Structure 1
Amino acid sequence: MPFRPADFRAVRGNDRWQGSRGAVVFTGATVAIALLALAIVQIRLITTMAVTATGTVMIAVLAALTLLPAFAGPR
């Protein structure tokens, strides 16, 4: 019996964003930790780039969690 998206919605409920929220948070946290690990090197340029990139990743995660569902939500 093939899998149908309607079956998945029946099991998980109607919130189609619930599964993607966890994936976005997990991925964002993983990238942030990896970038902040570059600060261990103690080279000022690398540390500054890592901290700046981490801030950018966090902004992207917050935008994905708040703005994307607001714009792509039910019409």
Structure 2
Amino acid sequence: MTTHEDQQLDEVIERLTIKYPTVAPAEIADIVRQTYRHFAEANVRDFVPLLVEHHVQDELGTRTGRIPPIPM
């Protein structure tokens, strides 16, 4: 992981923590890091943080019974 990707993932965690206040921040961080590992072999790195965020939102939506997140 590059420093830039690290920073982007921290921003993803921050946004998701705000968006899903009923989920523990540590749990969100764990899910983001696990999801990120699925993209470890991706050749094009530019969109990995965005893809991670979308996958985590899908998972959190499912885990919270599709309760909509707080609008930003």
Give the alignment's TM-score, normalised by structure 2: 0.37
Q: Which has the larger radius of gyration?
A: 1
Structure with greater helix share of residues: 1
Give the alignment's TM-score, normalised by structure 1: 0.36
